[in-house]
Amino acid sequence: MAGASYPGTMDTPDDDWLRLDQQICFSLHAASRAFNGVYRVILKDLGLTYPQYLVMLVLWEHGELPVKKLGEHLRLDSGTLSPLLKRLEAAGLVTRERSARDERSVQVRLTEEGTELRRRALQVPRRIAASTGFGAAEIRALRARLDDLTTALDAAALSETPGGSPADARS
Amino acid sequence: MAGASYPGTMDTPDDDWLRLDQQICFSLHAASRAFNGVYRVILKDLGLTYPQYLVMLVLWEHGELPVKKLGEHLRLDSGTLSPLLKRLEAAGLVTRERSARDERSVQVRLTEEGTELRRRALQVPRRIAASTGFGAAEIRALRARLDDLTTALDAAALSETPGGSPADARS
DNA sequence: CGCCATTCAATTGTGCGCAACTTAATTGTG
DNA sequence: CACAATTAAGTTGCGCACAATTGAATGGCG
């Protein structure tokens, strides 16, 4: 509200950029936490945290996966996944077993109970969607925007990195 | 509330909702972390983390504030802010002092060095904006969308709360 | 005035996210 | 075959987020 409208970028002064920056980074941060909060409440019934739910979604879709693949789907590394999977295992939702073929890799499988949980999870998305007040189309549009953003940011992070390793051709 | 029909939803089957849900929550989660990653790299020069930067932005704008007010601006509670502010204090960027007027409250003030840091921070937003590949207008549009989302989610979180304490007129 | 409810910060405990490092298995190369 | 390089998980350490609790200060009310 403060002073105004900047049509394009033209020569927006630094101070205004700083204010805009405050707004956009705050907005994304806040939205992410707000989302997290709603999921927290809804997922409490299932005994899952939000990240655990994401892992379960991937497993429900793919059946079973090594930790590495799970990490690629979710962009998470073993530092995050290992303890998380241990908790899911303790909860009786998954099993972790070293692969016989390649002893380095650990296969994550749904238990009976884990598979079962999917039925109860089916109503979660509707409750979330209802909470947003957004329709399917709007959600899809927002998702597309966010994915663009993520793609751009990931690319930028690489070029911006001090090490800046150029070779990043991931599988 | 079961069986209700939702705004844009025809009769999309549950399975598809689950898949869409996977996508939108994953997208937001990923975007948030990607943003965080870019800030991490850029803010390293300033010796700040992303949440610390948010706190500094608020302080640069308002000069000095009690912890409570800081928390309202950022939607963070003392559980998060107390240790964070201690670290900013240790870094010599802020001071914390119990208010003489009301001994319960702690006033957070910028030090000389903290005020000084703003000049170096002025170029951060431009680097971030460049990383996103978005123009000011796009950023603003996205921000507006995210704020809508946050508002809706916050409202929903309250009504969704298990305790659903009717008297939830906070503040 | 005395007491109780409220308010603000801080603390504790749990979980996520990420960097850096460790350990073990596999692969590639001579 | 032997040995270095690579790969997969796990571990450690730090910081953030949030719920729940604690403790001190304040304000309201009889």
Name the amino acid, one letter, at B72: E
Best A32, A120, A148 member to test B by mutation, with max B CBs in 10 Å, is A32
Domain holding B101: CATH number? 1.10.10.10
Name the amino acid, one letter, at A78: S
**Chain A 83-142 residues whose Cβ is under 7 Å from strand D:** 83, 85-86, 96, 102, 104-106
**Alpha-carbon distance values, B122 to A139, B20, B59, B88, B132 (Å):** 34, 39, 14, 19, 17
pLDDT at residue B137 above 90? Answer: no
- Within-domain flag for B51: yes
The answer to whether the beta carbon of residue B40 comes closer than 7 angstroms to any atom of strand C is yes
Residue B96's beta-bridge partner residues? B108
Question: Residues B39, B41, B43, CA angle at the centre, nearest 5°?
Answer: 60
- Within-domain flag for B105: yes
Helix, strand or coil for residue B95?
Answer: strand
Among A39-43, A86-90, A127-131, B17-21, the minimum mean pLDDT is found in B17-21
Q: What pLDDT score was predicted for residue B98?
A: 96
Cα A49 from Cα A30, distance rounded (Å): 18
In DSSP notation, B99-130 reads -SS-TT-EEEEE-HHHHHHHHHHTTHHHHHHH
Residue A95's beta-bridge partner residues? A109
SS3 letters across chain A: CCCCCCCCCCCCCHHHHHHHHHHHHHHHHHHHHHHHHHHHHHHHHHCCCHHHHHHHHHHHHHCEEEHHHHHHHHCCCHHHHHHHHHHHHHCCCEEEEECCCCCCCEEEEECHHHHHHHHHHCCHHHHHHHHHCCCHHHHHHHHHHHHHHHHHHHHHHHHHCCCCCCCCCCC
Average pLDDT over residues A86-98: 97
- Within-domain flag for B101: yes
Question: Which strands make up the sheet holding B94-98, listed edge to edge?
Answer: B64-66, B106-110, B94-98
Q: What pLDDT score was predicted for residue A65?
A: 96
- Within-domain flag for A62: yes
- Within-domain flag for A66: yes
The answer to whether the beta carbon of residue B37 comes closer than 7 angstroms to any atom of strand C is yes
Look at A135 and B24 and tell me if their CB atoms are within 8 Å. Answer: no
Q: What pLDDT score was predicted for residue B1?
A: 42
Question: Residues A104, A106, A110, CA angle at the centre, nearest 5°?
Answer: 170
Mean pLDDT taken over chain B? 83
Q: How many domains does chain A have?
A: 1
- Please list, in sequence order, all residues whose beta carbon lies within 8 angstroms of the beta carbon of residue A2, skipping any fewer than 6 positions away: A19
**Alpha-carbon distance values, B114 to A51, B41, B50, B61, B65 (Å):** 35, 20, 16, 12, 14
- Within-domain flag for A111: yes
Using pLDDT thresholds of 50, 70 and 90, give the confidence band for residue A168: very low
Using pLDDT thresholds of 50, 70 and 90, give the confidence band for residue B5: very low
Q: What residues of chain A, 3 to 62, have a C-beta less than 8 Å from chain B?
A: 6-9, 12, 14-15, 17-35, 37-39, 41-42, 44, 50, 53-54, 57-58, 60-61
For nucleotide C11, give the residue with the nearest CA to its C1'.
Answer: B79
- Within-domain flag for A104: yes
Q: For chain A, how big is the Rg over CA atoms in Å?
A: 20
pLDDT at residue B46 above 90? Answer: yes
Q: Which residue range forms the structural domain that includes residue B53?
A: 34-122
Cα B121 from Cα B43, distance rounded (Å): 8
**Residue range B75-121, pLDDT digits in tens:** 999 999 999 999 999 999 999 999 999 999 999 999 999 999 999 99
- Within-domain flag for B77: yes
